[in-house]
Structure 1
Amino acid sequence: MRKIVLSNGKTVEVECLSCALTSGELEPDGGVLAETPFFHAHQDAAYPIEGLVILASKRHIKSFDELTEEERMDYISLLSSIRSAQRRALGIEYVYYFYNEDTTHHFHTWMVPRYEWMNDFGRSVESLRPVLLHARNHLNNEENNKKVIAALTALRQELSPSMEEEKR
């Protein structure tokens, strides 16, 4: 078991944070953004940035090449839908996408929006770590958390029609 401190200050003990979130054992702040048979999307549990989405596989795998063909199609479709919702609902112009295979969690993609305030940390991928740490250490307050939840709600509302359509 690992102890993980979430952005809301709570400490949880889990084997795998992604497994706990995708299985429903642990409820992410603001709830689930979107879910398919293969993937689970939610606000990042550690970094309170509006519109920062984690897209996690439900299966405990480590690498993109472990996805089945059906999972890959579902992944691309959901990733694209979320990105469109970020643009339409939140006006997010740029997003950094990344995943790493040496994580302690399982396969998940970070969708990190780029905001003007982040320019103080630089404009390259190298700026992401300082941005994330700044968010964890300085934006973890009630006022900002309300903005994060409001952004998540706006994304969910924007995604609702497309998610309903995919279920048919």
Structure 2
Amino acid sequence: MAKKITMADGRTIEVECLSCAITSGLIEPAGGTIIETENFHAHQDVAYPVPGLVIVASKRHIHCLDELTESELIECINLVQAIRKAQRDELGIEYVYYFYNEDTTHHFHLWMVPRYEWMNEFGRSVESLRPVLLHARNKMNNKENLDKVFKNIDLLRNALKNYKR
């Protein structure tokens, strides 16, 4: 059953699964694809404008980590490691929180959320992630910050262009 979704850039789309639409290329995420491999697609959800935030989504419609094949699992961890190295080397990101949830309305995707000084007011645990993301969405959706988000997307894309797929 198709759902209407309003994207961060204001576009309204109607899809059954947002992740499937993005990973198949039906919908281009704002800022574009950071990197794409045989089984995974990485992009930033600019609805949460945290510079350097990356979402790694499986192209296959699954919900749980244990549904990945062995080769997909190896591909995923190698891709996440390459993205993490690019975050550190290109963007100077020292720490990242990783999370995924299995009760999502979309399919398997791993969030890589950078840790910045401004986030300290929300705490330093996984519990701080929701308030951090809401703060970014509600208070950081301005031209200056979005320019930085898009610049970081380009930096990551360029750093990963020679990644062995």
Give the structure-2-normalised TM-score: 0.95
Shift of 1:64: 0.5
Shift of 1:44: 1.6
Question: Which residue number in structure 1 is paired with residue 112 of structure 2?
Answer: 111
- Residue 152 (structure 2) pairs with residue 141 (structure 1): no
Between 138-147 and 123-132, the greater mean CA deviation after superposition: 138-147
Q: Distance in 1 between matches of 2:13 and 2:144?
A: 23
Runs of 4+ in 1 over 3 A off after TM superposition: none
Q: Distance in 1 between matches of 2:6 and 2:130?
A: 17
Q: Distance in 2 between matches of 1:51 and 1:142?
A: 16
Alignment of 1:47-86 (within 5 A): 47-86=48-87
Q: Distance in 2 between matches of 1:112 and 1:100?
A: 14
Q: Distance in 2 between matches of 1:51 and 1:18?
A: 19
Alignment of 1:10-159 (within 5 A): 10-159=11-160
Q: Distance in 1 between matches of 2:75 and 2:156?
A: 18
Q: Distance in 2 between matches of 1:47 and 1:155?
A: 17
Once superposed, what is the RMSD of the aligned Cα atoms?
A: 1.1
Between 70-79 and 137-146, the greater mean CA deviation after superposition: 137-146
**Sequence identity of aligned pairs in percent?**
66
Shift of 1:72: 0.6
Q: Distance in 2 between matches of 1:126 and 1:88?
A: 27
Which SS does the other structure have where 2:89 is aligned?
helix
Shift of 1:45: 4.2
Q: Distance in 2 between matches of 1:45 and 1:146?
A: 11
Offset from partner CA, 1:85-133 (integer Å, 9 cap, x none)? 0000000000000001000000000000000111111111111001101
Between 98-107 and 4-13, the greater mean CA deviation after superposition: 4-13
Shift of 1:49: 0.9
Structure with greater proportional helix content: 1
Unaligned ranges ≥5, structure 2: none
Give the structure-1-normalised TM-score: 0.93
Q: Distance in 2 between matches of 1:145 and 1:45?
A: 8
Which SS does the other structure have where 2:160 is aligned?
helix
* Count of residues paired in the alignment: 164
Unaligned ranges ≥5, structure 1: none
Shift of 1:134: 0.8
Code of the aligned partner of 1:123: R
